[in-house]
Homo-oligomer: A and B are copies of this chain.
Amino acid sequence: SFSIRQCCDRPKNTNVRISLPAVCFVWQIAMIILFGIFIRYNEESDAHWIEHKTSNNISSNIENDFYFRYPSFQDVHVMIFVGFGFLMTFLKRYSFGAVGFNFLIAGFGLQWALLMQGWFHSLDPMDGKIKIGVESMINADFCVASCLIAYGAVLGKVSPVQLMVMTLFGVTLYAVEEYIILSLIHARDAGGSMVIHTFGAYYGLSISWMLYRPNLDQSKHRIGSVYHSDVFAMIGTLFLWMFWPSFNSAISDHGDGQHRAAINTYLSLAATVLTSIAISSLSQKTGKLDMVHIQNATLAGGVAVGTAAEFMLMPYGSLIVGFCCGIISTLGYIYITPFMEKYLKIHDTCGIHNLHAMPGVIGGIVGAITAAAASKGVYGTEGLANTFDFMGKWKDMMPTQQGGHQAAGLCVALCFGIGGGIIVGCILRLPIWGDAPDNSCFDDDIYWELPEDEENNPPTVEYNNHMRNKAV
């Protein structure tokens, strides 16, 4: 891949005045046309619901799926826009890009996801239309999450146009791998440890590897936080942390499935907080805590419990998963991220390898083991069939087999993430996307009109020197 890299390295032009509006307009118009052809309300959001209710003996409007899932949807929605957006505001001069481009990607991605996922999952054979409802919105937000995870690896190093391309392909790849994992392989993945986190993280890391910038240390002074940008990032952390139980339970089964997924996630995350803080303190000579760990590693338990959250993981099982992931994720920030940058040429701005990739893989493995260990004693006969969806053509499936299928699903997610990321990374190396030169990364000034006094606020080292020179 080095030859491709070299052929693409030309002087940088960061003017996106043609390309960004063009991409936004053309793709948005394409969305309108495709929605016009394909997308309709499903029977629970269509005005014919009253007739549907009567003909299906549904006794009350409260049985509409809206009331089962809408509160969870809103929590997931907050995670996507505020959670991911603010988590990335930690850089001293890239908060606009963090929260603003996150907004752009998610706004586009969810539309494309409704189409792609619709074609694979909810195409009505009667009329060839995709029927959407509240669950489709949750799934679209989930799909977008994988692209936002990938954004974390390349934060500050790519242009908004590159992000749009990344999202277009990311959503497409996601829909295909999701279809293979959930429908063809029949793996279960309620909280998306494999489908969302493993895929998204390796997709982003592969792209970052393909876009490796040998001279990135020219922007090194901007890779860091200031006091208030760290507090902003904690807004993202906390909304992700708090609403993760909703994320993992949003599309699991009505009743005990959603209930159990929420409990497991709640517990796993609590354990992660303690072990992240413990390792963070241990890692410093004086026992001081590092905000990077608090902002990120505390979330690893939510990722790792994603697949197994709806299973009978047991409360102590959730704690164990969270316990381990807090340790692993924090150690990842301390040892693996610098190693990857130095030896593997993978620069990972937000450390998604520690927060999403490793915990995602662990989550897939935990899911496989938990599934393989399932028994009628623990689940009940009906409960087992219901939890693992042993119905229709899968009605004779055994839990041990299911464990194997789960493992297969994890492999698919990995392959799609790495393979897709390499291909998309190649495309993004083309010198047409308006990305910044190596000495201007992590700087909002490239793509944003900044407030007039921007050079002085927040006060940086340059500013102080500047002041001193003026004064002397």
Contacts and interface: CB of A to CB of B under 8 A. Distances in A.
A196 to B, nearest CB: 19
Interface string A81-118: 11001100100100110011001100110110010000
A427 interface: no
Interface in A135-192: 137, 160
11 contacts: A35-B316, A41-B315, A51-B380, A70-B262, A74-B245, A74-B246, A77-B242, A81-B241, A96-B291, A132-B315, A134-B262
Contacts of A471: 467-468, 470-472
Contacts of A254: 61-62, 64
Contact size range, A: 35 or more
A32 B278 contact: no
A78 to B, nearest CB: 6
Given A28-B274, A226-B457, A230-B96, A291 B255 contact: no
Consensus secondary structure, chain A interface: helix
A451 B226 contact: yes
Given A17-B287, A20-B277, 14 more contacts: A20-B278, A28-B278, A39-B315, A40-B315, A45-B256, A46-B312, A50-B382, A96-B231, A96-B289, A104-B277, A107-B273, A111-B319, A137-B262, A228-B458
Interface string A26-44: 0111011101100111001
A94 to B, nearest CB: 11
Nearest to A326: B28
Contact of A448 (B50, B270, B291): B291
Interface stretch (A339-347, A353-361, A383-391): A383-391
